[in-house]
Amino acid sequence: MSSRLFQHDLVDSTNERALASIADGSARHGDVHVADGQSAGRGRLGRSWVSARGEGLYLSIVLLPARAPNPAALTMAAGLAVLESVRALGVGEARLKWPNDVLARDAKLAGILVESRGLDPARPHAVVGVGLNVLQRSFPPELLAERAVTSLALLGCDATREHALDVLLSHLASRLELACLSPERIAADYARASELPGRTVRIRRGSGELTGRLESLTLAGLELALVDGTRARVPLEHAQAVEDLDRAPDRPARSS
Ligand code: BTN
């Protein structure tokens, strides 16, 4: 991977900067775009990502692999990398939330957004964006009205943004390389780390919800044993949310 690190002050979105560099031909595999703040940080499903200057980590990695990467494997790989990083920073209670969140005490600590633009098979590419809440001690009320949110600081971790970035980049580099070379291994590692197989889950997908025991999570999809004795398979890209119905709630997070 390239070891180029582009440090931006305030940008619209680091994903946008990374995609623009791919479009203008200046990007290299592994380039990292990090910003101090974002004026138009993007989240999943058209949401925005609150990106107060100097408080969180906002970064995007350019991938230009030989073969088209599997977007679900990239999202899982980034989730694993964030999980491993925050645990290495001392947040032992962090966990994965399908498909692209890392939570702690039932509050969102980090999110992942994988994007690509155009489908030229001769030039496979993807941008993996990660937002990690680091120093925030409070969040805008409109964000808190939507969901519980937390940060490393609120969880008692006093890592600086620079240190968190170093830790995160080393985990992302190895997990994303593995996702390009062996996406099946990433799915297997994600399944283990998510602790979902064997649990009763509710899966939300475009055409409604399905509830059953999760038999497996692989690149082929989420395999469910339904209560009526039949089985169902939900392709990864159709699973908008997976709720673990066997899981006891975490200790509440402080929201400010
Ligand atoms: C989500 O949870 O909805 C995904 C959030 C992803 C946010 C990061 S911040 C860095 C990168 N640039 C963006 O505009 N979005 C991602």
pTM (2 d.p.):
0.94
Interval between CA 3 and ligand 1 midpoint (Å): 21
Asked if residue 41 has pLDDT above 50, the reply is yes
9-13, 120-124, 142-146: the lowest-pLDDT one: 120-124
Asked if residue 139 has pLDDT above 60, the reply is yes
Which mutation among 7, 48, 58 tests ligand 1's pocket best, with the greatest number of atoms within 8 A of CB? Answer: 58
Q: For the segment 157-196, what is each residue's pLDDT rounded down to a tens digit?
A: 999 999 999 999 999 999 999 999 999 999 999 999 999 9
Asked if residue 253 has pLDDT above 90, the reply is no
Distances (CA, A) of 66 to 5, 18, 63, 106, 113: 22, 18, 10, 38, 21
Q: For the segment 14-38, what is each residue's pLDDT rounded down to a tens digit?
A: 999 999 999 999 999 999 999 999 9
Asked if residue 236 has pLDDT above 50, the reply is yes
Asked if residue 209 has pLDDT above 60, the reply is yes
Beta strands (DSSP E) in 93-218 are 95-97, 101-104, 107-115, 126-133, 200-205, 208-218
Q: Which whole number is the average pLDDT over 106-116?
A: 97
Which mutation among 10, 11, 15, 47 tests ligand 1's pocket best, with the greatest number of atoms within 8 A of CB? Answer: 15
pLDDT-derived band at 7 (thresholds 50, 70, 90) equals very high
Atom number, ligand 1, closest to the C-alpha of residue 47: 3
Interval between CA 231 and ligand 1 midpoint (Å): 34
Structure tokens at 165: 């970035």
Which protein residues are within 6 Å of ligand 1, measured from CB? 13-15, 38, 41-44, 47, 49, 58-60, 100-101, 111-113, 129-131
Q: Bridge-partner residues for 205, per DSSP?
A: 208
Task: State whether residue 105 is helix, strand or coil.
Answer: coil
Average pLDDT, the chain: 94
Q: Which whole number is the average pLDDT over 80-103?
A: 96
Interval between CA 206 and ligand 1 midpoint (Å): 22
